[in-house]
Amino acid sequence: MMTETNPKPIHVVGGGLAGSEAAWQIARAGVPVVLHEMRPERGT
């Protein structure tokens, strides 16, 4: 596996439970994350 010193961000669509968990785990691995949510405000 090739590692990149400056990885491109991963875009996660959906800020629900699954999307938030996916974004959290990706960020913990040291990869930049962009989380996209259709609602303008946080609900939970």
Give per-residue pLDDT as tens, 10-24. 999 999 999 999 999
pLDDT mean over 23-39: 96
Query: pTM value?
Result: 0.76
Question: Which backbone phi and psi does 43 adopt, to 5 degrees?
Answer: -105, -35
Output the six-digit token pair for 18.
Answer: 């699954």
pLDDT at 29: 97
